[in-house]
Structures are given as C-alpha cells and as structure tokens.
Amino acid sequence: MFDVAVIGAGAAGMMAAAVAGQRGLRVVLIDHARRLAEKIRISGGGRCNFTNIGTTPANFISQNPDFCRSALSAYTPRDFLDLIRKHGISWHEKHRGQLFCDESSEDIIDMLRRECDAGKVSWRMPCSVSEILREADAFRLATDQGPIEARRLVLATGGMAIPQLGATDFALGIARQFGLKVVEPRPALVPLTFDPASWAPFSELSGVALEVCVRSKPEGSKATSGRARGAAPAVFLEDLLFTHRGLSGPAILQISSYWNPGETIHIDLAHAQDLERELLDAKPGSRQQLGTVLAGLWPKRLAEQLLATLDAAAPDLATRRLADVPDKMLRRLASRIHDWALMPSGTVGYKKAEVMRGGVDTRGLNQKTMEARSVPGLYFIGEAVDVTGWLGGYNFQWAWASGVACGRALAG
C-alpha cells in the first residue's frame, strides 16, 4: 500500500511525486512510456523553455480564469529558478521573459529524476493502467505489472498533443468515470488551415514570415460571452509564417488557442504603420506603381499576392500609379491590410499541436490542492486540467506550480 500513486511521469507528475516523497510519503510513479518525459525532451527545440519570468494568471486560458491564481502564486518562476540553480543548470532568457536551458532539456529531466530519487519515489515504467477502482480508503489500480494500491491518486497524464509520443486522454476518462465534468478538449498552440481553394493563391507564399498583430476579434470589439470573464479579445504581436496549407508561426499558434470553428481571426499586416495616412501623403504626383510602394513594406511576393487577392474589382491595382488610385480605394486597401479577416477551416490537429486546451473542469477541483471536490483523495494536475498557457514557457510553469500545490497538499 502506497500513500500516493501518481499516473504520468511528465513535468507535473514528477514534480508532485518529488515534493510528496521528500515530505515523507511513500509514492509510486507510473508511466506507460518507455522513455521518460518525452515532451520535456522535445520542448523548446531541445532546450526546454522551462518557464516565463513574467508569468501571471492572464497568460492562461480557462473557463474558470481565477483557478490558476493560487498555485501560480504559491510556486513562482523564481522558485523554479532556485531549483535549477541548486542543480547547477545554466540557463538564458531568449525574449519576452522566456527562459531556456543553455545546454539541453535533458538537464531538466535529470533534475526531476534526482528530485524523485531524493524523495525515494518508486517507479513503474513502462506500465499501463487498465482499471481504477475506489475502495473504502484506497484506490486500487489494475496494471500490467500487477495491482497497485494507494490511499491517494494523482492523475498527471497530460493532454492529447503529439499522440505519436504516447499522449492520451486517460485523465479525462478517469475524470468522467468519477463523475467530474470535462471542458471539451481541442488542439491548441497549433497551425491553422484554410479551405484549399481559397488558400491556393497564398500557398505559394509558403516560407514567407513577418511580424504581425493578430486578434481573435476585430479591433474595438467586446469579448463575447463564454470567453474568459471580463477579458478583452486576445491580441498578440508575434511572427506569422505562411505554409502550404495555411498559417503558422508564434502569432498563429497563440491565437489558435482562442479560436473556435466558424470564427474569423484578424491580422494587421502593417501594425507599425498608419497605412492610410502614408499612402494618401505619398499619393500626390507619385509615379510609383502601388505594387512597388507596398513591396517596400513586405516581402515582394506577399505584396503582389495581397494586391491580387484583396480587391477582386481591381485586378490591375498593383500596376496602377499611386497618383491614379482613388483615395477611397487607398483607404479601403489600408483598412483591409490592417484588418485581414480570415476564416480558418480547421487546425492541423493534435499531431502537430503543442498543447491541448480544455480538460478536467476546474470548477470541480480545489484550487489550492488540485483535489476533486466530490472525490476525496483524487487529484488532477498539469495539462490534463482546463488551464492552458500561452506559448513561451507558461505551460511548464503551470505543470510545476500545479504539481507542487498537489505534492504539498498530499503531505499536508
């Protein structure tokens, strides 16, 4: 009989197991994978963007936006930095508060393994759990390594992104089994796709990248209900990348977490400029072709393609002299470039997503301990929970913080 069984030896699970073990509990950590913590290994291009120094609850998406506050404030990026300093891991800040390992994400995996060893955590790996039953004062797990009994059970099996690395919806199934609600899961931090026919003119721009301002709603609109309470529409200033099937790059990954089927996204392709004023000021007597003027702003291929597709009524726009283009048309052109509204047809799915959005409904969990309100002794942590971070180290910070909150509560 263990005090605690943790299923999922990823970021959150190892953290919770280590904290509980170091506080004297007998902990068993179970994972079905052959290799430990694959998601940490591949994260941040192999250097693990392990936190973001500017983390606040506003960097997370959830149907219950205040839920993450308590855990995030009880275990901050500074606390995680103390831990990696203790293990002698060197790191650097890339941009916007994103912290990466200097050497390799393996350093983080080794550190967590050592922390688990310090807590005398028992390992069952690879080990699959086929059934979980709750008995009077314990959880009984049927596994391919025989039965395991524990007084308390932590689900830390993450989200469904990258199923080819063993990601599953196991935690969601267990939540439902015990009567907890689940917020519909969807791929997030994921490239967006478009209807092939409408995208055809842009597919040849594959590889073109530029900084844009992307919004989940047109500028000036109010947040709709169902979004984070009181939150403004999401806005990100990041790079966008054209691909054969659609759009990618940090700007699109960020906005994808807010996008729902049937909605448009809004891209300002010239966020640093007031294009209407610049075009109207440059117009008098200008012999330059409009296409040449716009090619001064963006990669030429993009300028040509935008002019060819933005205004069907004026297919020759690119070759017209600026001085000959009516003011009204320049204004319309500028406003369409500052608010390029696009309706994605979908995403490239979990195979390429960085995270899953949605998950175990936090309204059924205690925000200080991560314990299910209706099932004493059952805990959910990490990405399996309906708390999804932005791109930039926030998802790991949530994994560490929720893992520590749970580990401390188990031992408390």
CA end-to-end span of the chain: 19
Q: Among residues 382, 386, 405, 408, which is the contact residue for ligand FAD, using CB under 6 A?
A: 382
Q: Does 361 bind ligand FAD (CB under 6 A)?
A: no
Rounded CA-CA distance 67/83 in Å is: 25
Angle at which helix 275-282 crosses helix 327-338, to 10 degrees, equals 150
Nearer to ligand FAD, 130 or 225 (CB): 130
- The answer to whether residue 32 forms part of the interface with ligand FAD (CB under 6 A) is yes
CA distance 127 to 170: 14
Give the rounded distance of the alpha carbon of 64 from its chain centre: 17
**Minimum distance, C-beta of residue 359 to ligand FAD, in the bound complex (Å):** 9
Binding of ligand FAD by 399 (CB under 6 A): yes
Site string for ligand FAD, 126-155 (x = CB under 6 A): --xx--------------------------
Rounded CA separation 141/148 (Å): 5
Size of the site for ligand FAD (CB under 6 A): 38
The CB density around residue 74, as the number of other CB atoms within 10 Å, is: 13
Q: Strand 122-124 to strand 27-30: parallel, antiparallel, or no bridges (unpaired)?
A: parallel
**Is 240 within 8 Å of 209 (Cβ atoms)?**
yes
Cβ–Cβ under 8 Å, residues 221 and 194: no
Structure tokens at 226: 């169902």
Stretch that binds ligand FAD, among 66-74, 156-164, 200-208, 317-325 (CB under 6 A): 156-164
Q: Which stretch binds ligand FAD (CB under 6 A): 19-27, 166-174, 205-213, 305-313?
A: 166-174
Closest CB to ligand FAD: residue number: 10
**Interaction between residue 322 and ligand FAD (CB under 6 A):** no
**Binder to ligand FAD among 31, 115, 238, 371 (CB under 6 A)?**
31
- Of 29-37, 72-80, 222-230, 231-239, the window that binds ligand FAD (rule: CB under 6 A) is 29-37
Please report how close the Cβ of residue 387 comes to ligand FAD at its closest, in angstroms: 10
Selected from 54, 97, 166, 299, the binder of ligand FAD by CB under 6 A is 166
> What angle is formed at CA 365 by the lines to CA 360 and CA 371, rounded to 5 degrees?
110
